Chain A
Amino acid sequence: MSQVIHHDEHYDAEGSKIGMWLFIFTELLLFGGLFIIYSVYRFSNQDAFHLAAEELNRTVGTINTIILLVSSMTIAMSTSALQKKQKKTTLALLGVTLLLGLVFLVNKYFEWGTKFEHGIFPGSQYMLDHLSQGEILFFGLYFVMTGLHALHIIVGMVVIGFAYAGVRSGRVNADRAALLENSGLYWHLVDLIWIFLFPLFYLIH
């Protein structure tokens, strides 16, 4: 949507910022629905959830958390850099952010891969035969929530890509920074959601 905004005839930075926040609210409630489901099922399947969480790799989760936090900082810094008219620094910081996003996805890919090898994926016969209903629910939610989150990472990277191109060409600059600021906001949202996903899936056992 930031794309749509920066094409507009008149430029209203405050307006597009509110627009972005409103969009973030919808994303929060989208995940909010999933958090409601998670809390209800965790409440009714406490032991199964603890047992299933053992299966997840804390170290990978922690590393991914750190990656996202650092990338959040770099993109936040890139806005400051743009306002200080340091174009090179801005681009470098955005590049680092994109790279970190990619590393996050690669980690996720291997993490999911190991699960699949162990026969843990939605609809697998292994799960039906060996796991309790609570555990099946846990993994169902795990795949949906981390999957949707990964999708948001990808969307975020595309948006940041647009911001990168904009900064390079000079269309996004210190006076017209909305696209960069908004992609930053979006990226922080992705981080924010992960901040809750991480303890709820990896740390509770």
Chain B
Amino acid sequence: MQHEKTHIVPYRTYLIILVALLIFTLLSVKITAIELGGLTVAAALIFASLKSYLVLTYFMHLKFDKIYIRIMVGFVFAVFLAVIIITFLDYYFR
């Protein structure tokens, strides 16, 4: 096997990401404490998506990996979303 070169991520990057993640966490706690009706769920999910994006790209190294792994991950999330949407074609229109 030829050696693929590895990318060493500096500690600082991880620290910055953690700070961002913590900020998003606190923001989502604060925002959902306000009475926003249906928007509460949306806000909570948006922050969760932002956080998972950061975890996937930096902690899980997608940013530094070969492109096809990123495509696979995107594909899996897309399939899952499609399944939820199709399931709701039943529950939403019942």
Contacts and interface: CB of A to CB of B under 8 A. Distances in A.
Contacts of B84: 35-36, 39
A21 B69 contact: yes
Q: Which 10 A-B residue pairs are closest in the complex by CB-CB distance?
A: A199-B44, A203-B32, A73-B18, A83-B8, A76-B59, A188-B59, A195-B51, A188-B60, A25-B76, A69-B21
Interface of A: 10-14, 17-18, 21, 25, 28-29, 32, 35-36, 39-40, 43-44, 58, 62, 65-66, 69-70, 72-73, 76-77, 79-80, 83-84, 177, 181, 184-185, 188, 191-192, 195-196, 198-200, 203-204
B91 A199 contact: no
A78 to B, nearest CB: 10
Given A80-B14, A203-B44, A32 B32 contact: no
A73 B72 contact: no
Chain A interface, >50% SS class: helix
Contacts of B22: 66, 69
A12 B59 contact: no
Given A28-B76, A83-B8, A195-B48, A72 B29 contact: no
Give the size category of B's interface with A: 35 or more
Nearest to B62: A21
A74 to B, nearest CB: 9
Contacts, number: 106
Contacts of A80: 8-11, 14
Contacts of A191: 55, 59
9 contacts: A17-B65, A35-B84, A69-B21, A72-B18, A76-B14, A177-B6, A191-B59, A196-B48, A203-B29
A35 B80 CA distance: 10
Contacts of B92: 43
A10 B56 CA distance: 28
A11 B1 contact: yes
B80 to A, nearest CB: 5
Given A195-B52, A199-B32, A204-B32, A73 B8 contact: no
A19 to B, nearest CB: 12
A56 B15 CA distance: 30
A199 B87 contact: no
